[in-house]
Amino acid sequence: MSSAALTQLSEEDALFQASVRQFAREQIAPHVREMDEQAHFRPAILEQMFALGLMGIEIPEEYGGQGGTFFQSVLAIEELAAVDPSAAVIVDVQNTLVINAVLRWASEEQKRRWLPRLAKDTAASYALSEAGSGSDAFALQTRARLDPGGDWLLEGRKLWITNAQEAGLYLVFANANPEAGYKGITCYVVERAFPGFQVGRKEDKLGIRASSTCELIFDGCRVPAANVLGEVGKGYKIAIETLNEGRIAIGGQMTGLAHGALQHALAYAKQRKQFGKAIAEFQAIQLQLAEMATQVEASRLLVYNAARLREAGKPFLTEAAMAKYFSSIVAENVASLAVEVLGGVGFTKHYPVEKLYRDAKIGRIYEGTSNMQRITIAKQLLG
Ligand SMILES: Cc1cc2nc3c(=O)[nH]c(=O)nc-3n(C[C@H](O)[C@H](O)[C@H](O)COP(=O)(O)OP(=O)(O)OC[C@H]3O[C@@H](n4cnc5c(N)ncnc54)[C@H](O)[C@@H]3O)c2cc1C
């Protein structure tokens, strides 16, 4: 299949992509700088993202969602990231981690309880990492103890939790049977109002500053048995399987970021004049632009390929790891080149490429660091 065919979208996907692009450019772009400076995501934009269905893309229509596909979630994240990678990660966590897990693991009764809220107005978080367990996620120390009354009591702290400030629901991984090791890990759905739960310190970050990243504190947090997602002791499976899919969407986020940086560089190169002509007329600038475009295209191909394999129910683990690993390199490279093409102004906050350059760094860290992606790829190579 030629590359043109691989990045070709169906009519429906192309319309969807165009609508997200228009929304991002018209409604988000004017506020990106201010949200970055204030490290705060405008509630009105979050409301608009709900109204447009972007916070419930894959939720079936019978539960109030859009009835869309995983591939469309990736497309939406890519388009949002071209304008604001913070908006993209909010949509990423909501759709490809939380809703994905609920769709696959919740009972019918639980779906009826949570999906309509997630589609309509409730942002959600995915809480796996802790201070002592990042790459080694299953070493988590948050504990769940069964109360004689049948409820679970959660004790511990989570760190680095995206969407924590805005969320109403939290998917929380805790160990209900530490003697069983990772086979004690269980996934609980925690409501923000549950007694014994609070959102703690918010991180002050290098990039994606408008996306909230907070600590979660569980101090004897009481969770009804009806809020266990899947089975007790099967949380590790939920965590692995959702993260395997989520990282394809992070590939989409990084591809979108790189695409956004390229567009800014192109526009600037055509209008900036030096030595009596537009800098786009200098072959050295053309080579830089060509390099950026090639990297963006290669990144997109890897991401779409992994997303389509997942959609088709085929193995995608290695392809997803390659997509995330490569696209995060591309995002850093392309954003860096964009800063150079813009020269001095590229280094200032007057143009968006400085922020995209800072935002790109997160692609090599969350949802599995670059080292962890390469370990996954090497395992497949070596058998
Ligand atoms: C902005 C942000 C948002 C996040 N959002 C969430 C969220 O919503 N939910 C959530 O659960 N988590 C979230 N995280 C946590 C994120 O997934 C972890 O930071 C990440 O998995 C890395 O873990 P760590 O920070 O503990 O680093 P560590 O695991 O301590 O890694 C440190 C370094 O050691 C390397 N390393 C570790 N083990 C190995 C190994 N076996 N072989 C080779 N190298 C290794 C890593 O690659 C890295 O370079 C977020 C983090 C950030 C910064």
Q: 103-117 pLDDT, tens per residue?
A: 999 999 999 999 999
Tokens of residue 149, six digits? 């009354």
96 Cα to the center of ligand 1, angstroms: 18
SS3 label, residue 105: helix
Buried b (16+ CB within 10 A) or exposed e, 111-131: bebbbbbbbeebbbbbbbbbe
Give counts: helices (H), strands (E), the chain: 13, 10
Longest dimension (CA), the chain: 81
- In terms of residues, how long is the chain? 383
Sign of the torsion angle spanned by Cα atoms 161, 321, 76, 258 = positive
Q: At what angle do helices 85-92 and 43-51 cross, to 10 degrees?
A: 50
CA–CA distance, 313 with 304 (Å, rounded to integer): 14
Which protein residue has the closest C-alpha to ligand 1 atom 26? Answer: 134
**What are the residue ranges spanned by the domains of the chain?**
3-122, 125-233, 237-382
C-alpha of residue 93 to centroid of ligand 1, in Å = 16
Report, as an integer, the average pLDDT of 129-155. Answer: 97
Percentage of the chain beyond pLDDT 90 is: 98
Ligand 1 centre to CA of 364 (Å) is 9
- Mean pLDDT over 80-105 rounds to 98
Going by pLDDT thresholds of 50, 70 and 90, the confidence category of residue 6 is confident
The label of the residue with tokens 């690993």 reads 325
Cα–Cα nearest to 130, from 153, 156, 155: 156
24-43 residue pLDDT tens: 999 999 999 999 999 999 99
Q: Note the pLDDT of residue 7.
A: 80
Residue found by looking up tokens 């809480």 in the block: 127
Least confident of 1-5, 45-49, 185-189: 1-5
> Cα of 260 to ligand 1 centre, how many Å?
26
Separation CA 332–CA 334 (nearest Å)? 6
Q: For helices 370-382 and 317-342, what crossing angle results, to 10°?
A: 140
What is the per-residue pLDDT across 325-343, written as a single tens digit (0 to 9) for each?
999 999 999 999 999 999 9
Tell me which CATH homologous superfamily contains domain 125-233.
Answer: Butyryl-CoA Dehydrogenase, subunit A, domain 2 (2.40.110.10)
List ligand 1's pocket residues with C-beta within 6 A.
Answer: 93, 125-129, 134-135, 160-162, 205, 208, 213, 362, 365-367, 369, 371-372, 375
Q: Which atom of ligand 1 is nearest to the CA of 369?
A: 47
Alpha carbons 214 and 155: distance in angstroms, whole number: 17
Mean pLDDT score across all residues of the chain = 97
**Whole-number Å distance between alpha carbons of 254 and 158:** 25
Contact 323, 247 (CB under 8 A): yes
Domain 3-122: state its class: mainly alpha
Instruction: From 247, 362, 369, give the residue whose CB has the most ligand 1 atoms within 8 Å, as the site to mutate.
Output: 369
Q: Which residue, judged by its Cα, is nearest atom 12 of ligand 1? A: 129
Look at residue 1 and tell me whether its pLDDT is greater than 50.
no
Percent of the chain surpassing pLDDT 70: 99
Q: What is the pLDDT of residues 48-61, one digit of tens each?
A: 999 999 999 999 99
79 catalytically annotated: no
Q: Which residue's CA is the nearest one to ligand 1's atom 44? A: 371
Whether residue 249 contacts residue 92, with contact meaning beta carbons closer than 8 Å, is answered with yes
Q: Whose CA is nearest to atom 7 of ligand 1?
A: 161
Chain mean position to CA 31: 20
Contact present, 128 and 140 (Cβ < 8 Å): yes
CATH assignment, 237-382: 1.20.140.10
Mean pLDDT in residue range 62-73: 98
